[in-house]
Amino acid sequence: MDTNLIFTLCGVGLCGLGFFGFIYHRHLLRRLIAFNLIGNGTFLVMVGFAQRGQGVTDHVIQALVLTGIVVAVAATALGLVLIRRWFQLKGSTQLPEDDAS
Amino acid sequence: MISQGLLFLTPLFPMMLAILACFKTFKKNAGIFAAIAVLPAFLLSLLNLGQLEITYLSMPAVLLGSVWHTHPTGMTFLLFTSVLWFFSALYGIGYTKSDDKAQRFWILWLLTLSGNLGLLVSADIISFYGFFALMTFAGYGLVIHTGKELALRAGRIYLIMAVIGEMLILTALFLGSAATGHTSILAQDIAAAIPESNQINLLLFCLFFGFGVKAGIPLMHLWLPLAHPVAPTPASAVLSGAMIKAGLFAWISLLPLGYMHSSGWGILLIIFGFVASFGGGLVGMLQLAPKAVLAYSSISQMGLMTVTIGCLFLKPELTPLVIPVLAFFALHHALSKGALFLSVGINSQYRSIPIVLFVLGMLLPALSLVGIAGSGIQAKLLLKEGLYALYLPGIVMSITLSALATTGLMYRFLWLLRQERRESLQASPADHWMQLSWAGLLICGFLAPLLFSGNLETKSVLQQPIEYLGLLWVPVIASVFAFWFISQPLRASVPQGDLIVLIEPWFSVKEASADKKEDKNEQKVQPSLLNWVDKDQQPTPSAALEIFSRSQVAALLGVILLLANLMLWIN
Amino acid sequence: MNMILSPIPWLLVIPLAGATLTMLLPYHWRSAASVVGIFTQLMASVILWYQVTHYGPQFYAMADWQAPLGISLRADGLATLFVLMSSLVASACAFYAHHYLSLHKRANFWPLLWFLWASLNGIWLAADTFNLYVGLELLTFAAVGLVAFASDERSLEASIRYLYAALLGSMAYLLGVALLYGAQGTLAMDSLAETWQWGPTTQVAVTLILGGLLLKTAVFPLHTWLPPAHGGALTPVSALLSALVIKASFYILLRFWIEFQIYQFLPSLSQLLGALGAGAILWGGWMALRQTHLKMVVAYSTVAQIGYMTLMFPLLVAENSEASMLAYQGGILMLLAHAFAKAGMFLAAGNLIFCTGKPDLVSLAGMSRYRPLNIFAFGLAGVSLMGLPPSGGFNAKWMLLQSSFMSGQWWWIVVLLLGSLLSAAYIFRVFAYTYQETDALDTYKRPRLSLELIALSLSGISILLGFASLWPLEMISLPGPVMEALP
Amino acid sequence: MNLLIDLTLLIGILAIAFTCIVSRSLFRSVVFFILLGLMLAIGWIRLGAPDIALAEAAIGAGITGVLLLDTLGHLKKTGNLENDEPAPSRKRLVLAIVSSFTLVGLLLWAVFNQPTPAINIHLLVTEAMPESGVSHPITAVLLNFRSYDTLLEVGVLVLAVLVGLALQTDQQAQDSLPGLPNPLLHACLTLLIPAMLITSMYLLWAGSDRPGGAFQAGAMLAAAFILLHISGIKLSSQVSHRMMQAGLLLGFGVFLAVATSSLIGGRPLLAYPEGGAGMLILLIELALTLSIGLILLSLFTIANSPPHQTYQGGDHGH
Amino acid sequence: MSWTDWLPLAVLMTSFMAATIIFMLPEQRHVLRSTINLGAACIKLILIVFLIQAVLKQQYPEIRLEVLPGLELILRADSLAILFAGLSSVLWLFTTLYAIGYLENSPNRSRFFGYFSLCVASTMGISLAGNLFTFLIFYELLTLSTYPLVVHRGNAASIKAGRTYLIYTLSGGVVLLLGVAALYALGGDIAFGDIERTAALVGTWPELMTIIFILLIAGLGVKAAIFPFHGWLPTAMVAPAPVSALLHAVAVVKAGAFGIVRVIYDIYGIELSWQQGFLFPIAVLASFTILYGSWRALQQIDIKKRLAYSTVSQVSYILLGISLFGPLGTIGGLVHLLHQGLMKVTLFFCAGNFAETLGIHKIHELDGVGKRMPLTSAAFTVGALGMIGLPPVAGFISKWYLGMGALEANMEWVIFVLIGSSLLNAAYFLPVLKRIWFNPQQGQWPLEVINNNRDAIPLLLIPALVTASLSIAAGLFASSILSPLGWAELITLREYLR
């Protein structure tokens, strides 16, 4: 049980929880948070799994995760812009047809 | 050369005149056209009557290779046909004087005439069939010319029967041409090849009954007593006199007479012939209209000819001998019957004709038909002679007896005319066209044995008094009964067309039901374009499913992941 | 090869520079700059095409670092064809948008379009899995931005839905890439293919990548985000999205599938994909038939058409190289024909909606009389989508049919044919509405002729493809990584 | 010991994440999410990735957290109390559980069957480091070996702002968090902001040989800008719209210009001239830092302005 | 490649170009449009004459284009192709003339004539197709280009009819596509006439090839309106009269029948089809359709519907002829392809004239119309008599050869089908003729204008008269070398000598 494996597993867990939240919730903000959890989990898996395989610190994958984090924050920001606009227009924090189920 | 030219013109001249008659300019002259239309045919028949040399006119590009010719028997037919049509046309000029639909009548007249003449000169079955059809369908127009309810009914039945007949004929022609190995469409080849056909019985059946419609054999005769009386009188004359013979002519040219012996078919034909002969007489005597009586008389007479044809199946070897006789008999019947029909029209003009001439004119064709005067004597004698030669004495006897029926019919006819004269309050004014043509036809009928017998050997009555007596006794006996019979008021009458009344309702019901059904269909055609829209606005299961999966995209992704890996594990 | 003269970097630099410039320039200049950019792009695409056909596939090491350390780009026949396709469609849509959008909208439209175009070119040319991820994200953002562009309720809802689905898809893809990297130690596709080893890790990675890309491609049943997004966006945007954007993820999937020879090792997965494709064809067609709004019909038609493309996967069978080749070519041809036809159809539909001022089908009454040229354009596109001859769509369907026959998978034949009937049904349903005549007076607006002509030319290309199919087929059969990996 | 720390972190992270997901209160969720970011930062350090740790703390937890909180505040202010919403249906629960378990199962299966990678990429990195122009491998990867990815990534950021701007009106954005008229805060800010700016510059400088770099520095800069913004000092009102846009695009523009210049210089795209790598990278990083700061600020500000118009049929103009 | 090889393409392009130009023309340019239409029709006729010359010299102009690997578009003018192309081009000329008159003062002429030309172009393509693939392409194109014509009026009924039309033809198209694709998958690109290849295939995969045959015939049978695929034809009656003429006489149903001829003669080969027992079921089906169509026609009271069902019946004559093994049957089938076209087009022209001039749509409204519109009525009569099969109208010639063919193939029962159908034909046509000529006028006709005692306008009348004359001429001079019969005999000769 090395650090890499533990954090890979941690990433797996985060992915699972995030995925759960993404499906379970209808509130758009919650789903965005869930998405961020998946993202964080994925980043953990990326680094942990790669380093576990390579056996050493892997700078390439770390750099890629940096890129990923920036993309994720951009996505979150974009999502928030849309959510707020949606909220302004409809006064709702969820998509209409999701109420059905 | 002249013959060929005349051959070409025989059917085409009337046709051209028919086209001319369509124009308004010739509206007045259409009747004259009708009269002169027969000229080429008449000349042709006169030129070739009795000639053994046959003129051919071959037109390979036309239809499937048309050939027209001067058939020896056909020339006799052509002769009486043209004569009868000619006089009827003259008669018609007078008859249609005040008819506003005269132009149509004459156009159809010319077309019918063209068909009638054309079929007599056709050597190939295709032109024959074509002309036959032309005659039939244009003749329909003559039948319903008056447009009255009765005429329309008669026309409908005429048409139905005619179409059935056409189809039987077509079948026969198919089979016949096939019997030649698909090589020939000439009538004579087909007649010769029929004995080799695979479907010989079917073929003969179709030929017999197909043309039998025109010839008015029993069961196929249903239209005849309806159509002949309702047509305008000149048309009745040609229908009953000339066109009815087209069936006979077709039999003569297409049946394998002389090529095969078949007692079965022979007897069948003979039975049918006698049924027609006697049955026609019986039913005819129970008619209320003079023209209907004449129509049944035609059936009866055609029965005799059918019998003769039947005999040729029994004794094929004598065909060359009997056929000319048969043709002459047809000639005699055509002219006499024509004259009788015309006299129906003349009947109301009795005031303008000297009584002697009138009585003579009325009696002569009737006596001729019975066989004791005019051409009738020759015809009957020749026929009997021919049949004697066949050694079929029973049949000769029966033919002799058939004069019973004829005599009865003639009595009935004359009696009805007399009734008519009495009942009509005023006589029609004299019409010279009608009277002249009537007279002309009478004379032609009387002189026929002299003028038109061709190379047929005819002997005058004086040379064979015994035979003449043989003709006489039956009518004399019959007269006694008939005189008694007609003086009694008729207790029961048979409706015109006898059996037709049993099956007729079927036709009319069918048409009505079709109409009704169609109306229902009409109502069903409602614009349903917008159905979809309506459906769209209802929540449908598919839409609900779509919405559900829309809100659960992520879960579906999970499901697909699961599914994919499951499949891999199974793999 | 002289590096300056290689068009590959220019294919990326021009749109990126275009994006920057169009953001900075005053509104009135933006269109002019874009037009210059469009023509340079087209030129670069043509040069690339020339080079690839004459000198074979082109490879390009970014920053002069070779893969697997650096990022390589490569332009084989397939990539070149897609570059050309996107150039043509994007230029047409750009010109359409120029005439269609108001000045303000147009001003904001250009940078988004340029980013979109850059990301598309980036994806076509990419040979690195992570680079593909970044490209996909760039594409997603641009596309979401374009959808949200209309900024009404419907488009906003659609864009949110689209964003969420796309983000999830990207994340699944990234997770798969992470697993692949952990297993192989490389991100470059060439080296991945060389060192590929099947095992649970690669298998899970493949399914994750597959799932993510299916979601982004909107393959049934993950298609539900697509119709609102494509149907709700502004017309030129709808055309871009349907014609090009979904093709990007499909293209990546295709490359993975062939280059890593997934078809060879996971035949059951092929059948699953085929089943999804069949579902898409039938369900998409059925839903298209039930729509009341014109653009929704067209959008659902995209769902169905994606199914046709997906059908090529089960037909890539290792045992039958002829059938595989046919399937590969047929699938690509289908994609190509769909790109042009759907772009043309969306643009024509947009024109119709402009005329009537209403988005629903019922309002189309009388349109075939009022705008025959436009209906003709719509019809031509429809012909290709229905797979009726002569059209690219028909040729593609023909090849897929042949492939199904040859590989003995008759069940796809049934699907293909049923799908054609369904598509005919929904397209002719639209036609029926346009032929309808009502008593109401015509109160139509008249669109610019140029708008109609652009639609017509795109549809026309999809028909022309029916006669000139050999050309793209030769193109994608040029030697390259994909051709090597095909059976 | 290390194992214990790791396991504690593992449990802690998962517990926080679980709470974040299942909490009925949205506010609590957001707070837990920020907390999670901080925990993760520690985790990243444990993984030997201090760069990511910095970025996670600054961007993942910091900026994202602020964005979320800001939005939450916005939603709350307009009266949408998330507690009112009914709990999701059981169907969703089942689906979510099945799906997430599938995912976890698959990932675990994959993780525990990891093969040995055929390629050791760090060897290649080590080999190429001397030519990279910087001594910090992550910076080398980001701005040299895989600079193309980074270029596109900056593009993504710009694009996010662009979309936001496209949705924005020309009107002045109304703030969800009104300026705080608190003098104490003001005093704090006067101290804090310069410190943040200096930290940012340090991070940027450090990037060439130590953990740190443009992203972290930019995030720090953004944090300073946002603080200023919250406290009522609005950058957008200080500088012109055009300037603002130029600033947003500066990083991307410089990056692209450098890339294109290499192309014009006859080198492949993004290939630095020999010896000039270090300088150019620094230049790019400098520009990027400023731009990222502004971009993140813009992302924060543009979210809460009303929409500029609604769609009415075919929007058609000439 | 000699210049004649370009002729098939030129024939095709004349219509395509006409279509394209007409689409571009503004609605108001009526004269120019008519000129283009007629000009194209005339040019096409001239080109066809050149083609006929080439074919008589046993040169078969051919042009090829490879569209997919191993798959070619082939345009080839063989004698069979010329038969159909000649018919279409002649009838197109008259139908165009008629349509110009018919649509005078009606809207949407640009659209109408555009699709009209497109439709003819596809018909030309069908006739000149050199392999099944090419045939399929134009076959589908025909479906597409006729749809706008069917729904031209744009009312609910016509749109509904259009839908029915599409459901049938597109389904048929799909089945055909399946068959063609399967055939290509087995044997690659099989050009028409390459029957040895097919024979080899049948040897290898007898069952599969049987299935393919069924698919092909079923697919084509939809357009040929064989029972039970005939439903679209009567529904499509709502279209304008020239379109009906086109559907019934020139293009659509003929395309189906022509396709079946191609499949039997030029793909499978008549001998092979006979040996495999393919022909008998077709004969049975065709016979049934003949009777069924006639029977249904009898029940219609709408003129055009009656004519439509009559087409259902008459087209099956063609199939019947084809399915009779032997040269005579073949001649009958082929020649009926032309004859039926001439006669049916006449009938539809006349029906259109009645409708246009007097507003007559139902049969009972025809009472006395012969007096009012004698020439139209005469033309109608010719057509009707031809349908019944009376000499010298062309219909008799077909019927004669069919009957002889049946006897040659030892299928006597076919005779009764022919006879039965003729009976029914007579039953539904003769009463109509009677109404036209002999019944007095009942009340006023819907569109009758008092004091305007004219027949239909010349543009409507002349085409009807010409086609009527042609139907007579085709029958009357059947044995001349240039007649349809002559050409059919030529084709048959070449077919059976192979």
> Tens digit of pLDDT for each residue in C261-318?
888 887 888 888 999 999 999 999 988 888 888 888 999 999 999 999 999 899 888 7
Count Cβ atoms below 10 Å from residue D177 Cβ, excluding itself.
Answer: 16
Q: Which residue has the higher pLDDT, B507 or C178?
A: C178
Which of B552, B561, B565 lies at the smallest CB-CB distance from D95?
B552
Same domain (yes/no): D105, D16:
yes
Mean pLDDT of C357-366: 82
Q: For residues B238 and E485, what is the distance between their CA atoms, to the nearest angstrom?
A: 37
> Which of C23, C103, C148 is facing D317, going by the closest CB pair?
C103
Is this prediction's ipTM beyond 0.95?
A: no
Contacts of D142 in chain A (CB under 8 A): 63, 66-67
Cα separation, B213 vs B136, whole angstroms:
11
- Per-residue pLDDT, C84: 93
In angstroms, the Cα distances linking B564 to B170, B551, C132, E182 are: 72, 22, 23, 31
Residue E494 within a domain: yes
Spatial separation of the C-alpha atoms in residues D287 and D285, rounded to whole Å: 5
Cβ contact D160–A64 (<8 Å): no
Q: For position A36, which CATH number holds?
A: 1.10.287.3510
Q: Which residues of B touch A98 (CB under 8 A)?
A: 551
- Are the beta carbons of D252 and D214 closer than 8 angstroms? no
pLDDT band at C141 (very low <50, low <70, confident <90, very high): very high
Chains A and E: 3 or more CB pairs within 8 Å of each other: no
- Tens of each residue's pLDDT in chain D, 318 residues: 778 888 888 899 899 999 888 888 888 888 899 889 888 888 888 888 888 888 888 887 788 888 888 888 777 766 555 555 666 778 888 888 988 888 898 899 888 888 888 888 878 888 888 888 788 888 888 888 888 898 999 999 888 888 888 776 544 444 444 455 566 667 777 778 888 888 888 888 877 777 778 888 888 888 888 888 777 777 666 677 778 888 888 888 998 898 888 888 888 888 888 778 888 888 888 888 888 888 888 888 776 554 444 433 343 333
Split into its structural domains, chain E has a count of 1
- What are the Cα distances from residue C374, in Å, to A38, B372, C81, C295, E140? 47, 91, 28, 15, 21
Give the model's pLDDT for residue B528: 39
The C-alpha atoms of residue B157 and residue B222 are separated, in whole angstroms, by: 8
Give the closest of C210, C268, C287 to B570, CB-based.
Answer: C268
The pLDDT > 70 percentage for chain C reads 98
Question: CA of C155: which chain A residue's CA is closest?
Answer: A86
Split at pLDDT 50, 70, 90, the class of B519 is very low
The mean per-residue pLDDT over the stretch B311-321 comes to 85
Looking at residue C86, what is its pLDDT? 93
Domain-located, residue A98: no
Q: How many CB atoms lie within 10 A of CB C271?
A: 16
Q: Does B552 touch chain A (CB under 8 A)?
A: yes
Burial class (CB in 10 A: 0-12, 13-18, 19+), C446: exposed
Q: Are E279 and E408 in contact (CB under 8 A)?
A: no
User: Could you list the residue range(s) of the whole structural domain that residue E487 is in?
Assistant: 335-498
Rounded distance, CA C149 to CA C111, Å?
A: 12
Partner-chain residue, chosen from E412, E422, E437, that has the shortest CB–CB distance to B170? E422
| pLDDT score recorded for residue C335 | 93
Tell me which residue of B91, B495, B95 sits closest to B296, measured CA to CA: B495
DSSP state for residue E362 in the 8-state scheme: B
Which of A19, A22, A101 is facing B551, going by the closest CB pair?
A101
Same domain, D142 and D269: yes
Q: What distances in angstroms separate CA D67 from CA A69, A90, E492, one per listed residue?
A: 15, 21, 85
C50 in contact with chain A, both atoms CB, cutoff 8 A: no
Res. C2: pLDDT tops 60: no
User: What are E71's two structure tokens?
Assistant: 């798959």
Does some domain include residue D52? Answer: yes
Task: Let me know if residue D314 belongs to a domain.
Answer: no
Helix or strand (DSSP H, E) at E457: none
- pLDDT (mean) for E151-158: 82
Find the CB nearest C150 among D106, D156, D311: D311
Report yes or no on C24 lying in a domain: no
Q: What is the pLDDT of residue D303?
A: 61
Number of domains in chain A: 1
Q: Does C211 lie at the interface with B, CB-CB under 8 angstroms?
A: yes
B418 alpha carbon, distance to own chain's centre: 29
Which residue of chain C is at minimal alpha-carbon distance from D170? Answer: C104
Residues of D in contact with B562 (CB under 8 A): 98-99, 102
- In the predicted structure, residue E43 carries a pLDDT above the cut 60: yes
> Does any domain span residue C419?
yes
d(CA B217, CA B541): 71
Chain C residue numbers with beta carbons less than 8 Å from the beta carbon of E141 are 388-390
Cα separation of B106 and B235, whole Å? 10
From chain B, pick out residues whose CB is under 8 angstroms from the CB of A101: 547-548, 551-552
User: Which of C288, C274, C209, C315 has the alpha carbon at shortest distance from C415?
Assistant: C274
With cut-offs at 50, 70 and 90, classify the pLDDT of residue A98.
low
Residue C144 lies in a domain: no
Residue C315: count of CB within 10 angstroms of its CB: 26
Token look-up 């890499």 returns A4
Choose the closest CB to C222 out of B532, B542, B556: B556
Q: Which of residues 505-564 of B touch D (CB under 8 A)?
A: 552, 554-555, 557-559, 561-562
Evaluate whether residue D298 is within a structural domain: yes
Reply yes or no: is the peptide bond before residue C68 cis, omega within 30 of 0: yes
Determine which of D99, D103, D109 to mutate to test the interface with B (most B C-beta atoms within 10 Å): D99
Q: Which residue of D has its CA nearest to B557?
A: D99
pLDDT in tens, D250-280: 888 998 898 888 888 888 888 888 778 888 8
With pLDDT > 70 as the criterion, what percentage of chain B qualifies?
90
What's the pLDDT score for residue D175? 45
Q: How far is D185 from chain C (nearest CA, A)?
A: 36
CA-closest candidate to residue C349, choices C260, C177, C255, C233: C233
Please write down the HEC assignment for all residues of A38-94: HHHHHHHHHHHHHHHHHCCCCHHHHHHHHHHHHHHHHHHHHHHHHHHHHHHHHCCCC
User: Does C290 sit within 8 Å of B542, measured CB to CB?
Assistant: yes
Q: Which residues, in sequence order, are CB contacts of D144 under 8 Å at separation 6+?
A: C63, C65, D132, D133, D134, D272, D277, D281
Interface test with D, best of B545, B553, B560, B562 (most D CBs within 10 A): B562
Q: Which of B290, B293, B264, B267 is nearest to B280 (CA)?
A: B293
Do the chains contact at B554 and A23, CB–CB below 8 Å? yes
Nearest CA in chain C to B571: C268
For chain C, the domain total comes to 1
Contact residues on chain C for E149, CB-CB shorter than 8 A: none
Amino acid at E355: A
CB contact under 8 A, C178 and A45: yes
Residues E97-106 have pLDDT tens digits of 888 888 887 7
Domain, as residue range, for C344? 266-487
Q: Which of E407, E408, E480 to mutate to test the interface with B (most CBs of B within 10 A)?
A: E407
Distance CA B297, CA B54 (A): 34
The rounded distance, in Å, linking the Cα atoms of E15 and C453 is: 22
Contact residues on chain A for D167, CB-CB shorter than 8 A: 81-82, 85
Q: How far is C486 from chain D (nearest CA, A)?
A: 24
Note whether residue D318 is domain-resident: no
CB within 8 Å: C413 and E178: yes
The whole-number pLDDT of residue B538 equals: 52
Q: Which residues in chain C are contacts of E107 at CB distance < 8 A?
A: 369
In chain D, residues with a C-beta closer than 8 Å to the C-beta of B558 are 95, 98-100, 102-103
Q: Which residues of A touch B551 (CB under 8 A)?
A: 26, 95, 97-98, 100-101
Per the structure, the complete domain to which residue D291 belongs is given by 132-307
Average pLDDT over residues B196-225: 87
Q: To the nearest whole number, what is the mean pLDDT of chain C? A: 87
List the single residue in E with minimal CA-CA distance to B108. Answer: E437
How many domains, in total, are found in chain D?
A: 2
Q: Do chains B and E touch (3 or more CB pairs under 8 A)?
A: yes
User: Do the Cβ atoms of C108 and D124 come within 8 Å?
Assistant: no
Position C331 scores a pLDDT of: 92
- The H or E element spanning position C341 is helix C321-356
- CA C253 distance to own-chain centroid: 13
Which pLDDT score, from 0 to 100, does residue B111 have? 92
Range of the domain at A14: 3-93
Structure confidence at residue B537 (pLDDT): 47
Within B255-392, residue ranges assigned H as helices are: 263-274, 280-285, 290-314, 319-346, 355-370, 374-389
| Whole-number pLDDT of residue B152 | 84
Q: Which DSSP string corresponds to D138-204?
A: HHHIIIIITHHHHHHHHHHHHHHHHHHHHHB-SSPPPPSSPPP--HHHHHHHHHHHHHHHHHHHHHH
From C372, C406, C432, residue closest to E111, measured CB to CB: C372
Residue B185 pLDDT class (50, 70, 90 cuts): confident
Is D315 part of a structural domain of the chain? Answer: no
Q: Helix crossing, B244-254 with B149-179: angle to 10°?
A: 10
Nearest to C160 among A53, A54, A95 (CB): A95
Contact partners, residue E112, CB within 8 Å, separation at least 6: E99, E103, E148, E149, E152, E240
CB-based contacts of C110: which residues, under 8 Å, 6+ apart?
A: C18, C19, C22, C30, C31, C33, C34
List B residues 529-568 in contact with C (Cβ-Cβ < 8 A): 529-530, 532-533, 535-537, 540, 542-543, 546, 549-550, 553-554, 556-557, 560-561, 563-565, 567-568
Residues D7 and D64 in one domain: yes
Instruction: Provide Rg for chain A, Cα atoms.
Output: 16
Which candidate in C71, C112, C181, C201 is best for mutational testing of the A interface (most A CBs within 10 A)? C181
State whether D141 and D277 are in the same domain: yes
Whether D97 and D148 map to the same domain: the answer is no
Q: Find residues 167-196 of chain C whose CB sits inside 8 Å of chain D.
A: 175, 179, 181-186, 191, 195
pLDDT at site B373: 77
Helices (H) and strands (E) in chain C, counts: 23, 2
Count the Cβ atoms, other than its own, within 10 Å of residue C464. 18
* CA nearest to B353, candidates B442, B274, B280: B442
- pLDDT given for residue B509 in this prediction: 44
Verify that D61 and D1 share a domain, yes or no. Answer: yes
